């Protein structure tokens, strides 16, 4: 089992998160003023995270391969709904206000807290995505956002510590 760090909005990070730690974190997410974001991070940089509240969540994972990555978005089993929806998260945001940071998705990507629980517990136990859910590779969206200068994403893809030397 990989050693995960549990990150829960407005709570200190917890190293070596157990299944019971994740269960408790998910219980906190049901509270009216509870966290709206949970993440399990691998030491190598990979992660699984869920954002949202009020039984409307988006779940993503990222696999890291050396200097590259693949980013995946969970969908509902047997549902194909490409209608645009917006979910919200973040308890504190100076731009959008409390629980108003937009999280655009498609209808098929709106998952319930029970889905979050199943996916994160499986990820914590195995380090893998739960195959009961369809996973769409959205890596290109992350790369495109980075190239547009979105500071939430990487700006350049290059080996760690590598700097470009001018050719002579």
Does a structural domain hold residue 19?
yes
Per-residue pLDDT at 102:
85
Per-residue pLDDT at 129:
94
Does a structural domain hold residue 163?
no
Average pLDDT of every residue of the chain: 83
Per-residue pLDDT at 148:
65
Q: Is residue 100 a contact partner of residue 86, using CB atoms and an 8 Å limit?
A: no
Sheet strands side by side (includes 47-53): 5-8, 37-41, 47-53, 56-65, 68-74, 135-137
Mean pLDDT across the stretch 53-68? 88
Does a structural domain hold residue 73?
yes
Taking residue 37's Cβ as centre, other Cβ atoms within 10 Å add up to 20
Name the pTM for this structure: 0.81
Confidence of residue 113 (pLDDT cuts 50, 70, 90): very high
Tokens 């590598």 sit on residue? 162
Does a structural domain hold residue 166?
no
Does a structural domain hold residue 153?
no
CA distance 21 to 120: 11
Does a structural domain hold residue 140?
yes
Per-residue pLDDT at 159:
41
Does a structural domain hold residue 162?
no
Domain that holds residue 39: 5-147
Say how many domains are in the chain. Answer: 1
Does a structural domain hold residue 157?
no
């Amino acid at each position: 089992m990989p050693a995960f760090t549990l990150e829960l909005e407005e709570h200190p990070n917890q190293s070596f998160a157990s299944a019971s730690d994740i269960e408790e974190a998910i219980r906190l997410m049901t509270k009216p003023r509870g966290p709206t974001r949970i993440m399990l991070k691998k030491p190598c940089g990979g992660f699984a995270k869920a954002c949202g509240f009020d039984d409307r969540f988006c779940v993503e994972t990222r696999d890291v391969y050396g200097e590259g990555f693949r980013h995946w978005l969970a969908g509902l089993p047997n549902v194909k709904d490409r209608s645009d929806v917006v979910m919200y998260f973040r308890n504190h945001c100076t731009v959008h206000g409390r629980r108003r940071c937009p999280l655009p998705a498609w209808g098929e990507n709106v998952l319930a807290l029970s889905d979050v629980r199943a996916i994160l517990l499986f990820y914590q136990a195995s380090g893998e995505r739960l195959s009961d859910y369809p996973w769409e590779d959205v890596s290109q969206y992350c790369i495109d956002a980075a190239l547009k200068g979105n500071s939430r994403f990487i700006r350049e893809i290059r080996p760690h510590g590598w700097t470009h030397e001018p050719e002579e």
